A and B are shown apart, each in its own frame.
Chain A
Amino acid sequence: SQQGEEDPQALSIQEGENATMNCSYKTSINNLQWYRQNSGRGLVHLILIRSNEREKHSGRLRVTLDTSKKSSSLLITASRAADTASYFCATDRMDSSYKLIFGSGTRLLVRP
């Protein structure tokens, strides 16, 4: 199975609400990243958290990392309709840091 697995697979919320997505992985990592993909488009890098960090913020994004549980969460606060997209976590393993391993994504719908 995948190194990174997100849950939920799909999430539908009202504009203004917060959205939380989770990611689990299996092996030791250097970094964990979150990407956004709008339908039919390329990937946009959102945020990177290193294995020795526990929490990171960027604008309305908050990422946590728990290496003991091999899990991460992405929180988007005060969501907007423009946040509608698929969100992927990606990890890189210590023995092959150039290779990103993606989960299958969370499809977020923000209703106006």
Chain B
Amino acid sequence: NAGVMQNPRHLVRRRGQEARLRCSPMKGHSHVYWYRQLPEEGLKFMVYLQKENIIDESGMPKERFSAEFPKEGPSILRIQQVVRGDSAAYFCASSPSNPGTGENYGYTFGSGTRLTVV
């Protein structure tokens, strides 16, 4: 059972290009979360999705950022017209249901995608 798979691991984009980050949740997990980590900081919640639904996007910038989790395939975090301030590590996590129960909370994190905007 592979863990949460994120790709690419590293992504370099020029200012103004689009960045697409992919996240395949653990098998059997239908809830996906995206977090962003700026250098020397903790992770910040961006968005919570279930299959074909955005449940909470309160942490996602209103402009240029979008996320989806289609019925088939991975979850995608899309950043249009990237700027230098978008450079960060983007982490995806998944859970089988609403977390908050169980000894490990039910959350599993991926290894992240490190986006560099040049």
Contacts and interface: CB of A to CB of B under 8 A. Distances in A.
B107 interface: yes
Interface stretch (B12-20, B65-73, B80-88, B96-104): B96-104
Contact of A45 (B44, B105, B114): B105
A104 interface: yes
Which of B103, B104, B105 has its CB near the most chain A CB atoms (within 10 A)?
B105
Contacts of B48: 98-99
A60 interface: no
Nearest to A102: B42
B56 A48 contact: no
A48 B110 CA distance: 19
B111 interface: yes
A40 interface: yes
Interface magnitude class on chain B:
20 to 34
Interface string A69-104: 000000000000000000010101000111111111
A98 B99 contact: yes
A102 B38 CA distance: 12
Contact of B100 (A31, A40, A104): A31
A41 B109 CA distance: 11
Interface centre among A40, A96, A100 (most CB of B within 10 A): A100
A48 B104 contact: yes
A112 interface: no
B72 to A, nearest CB: 23
Given A31-B105, A42-B111, A43-B91, A96 B41 contact: no
Contacts of B100: 30-31, 92, 97-98
Given A45-B105, A100-B107, 8 more contacts: A30-B100, A42-B109, A48-B103, A90-B43, A98-B98, A98-B100, A99-B56, A102-B42
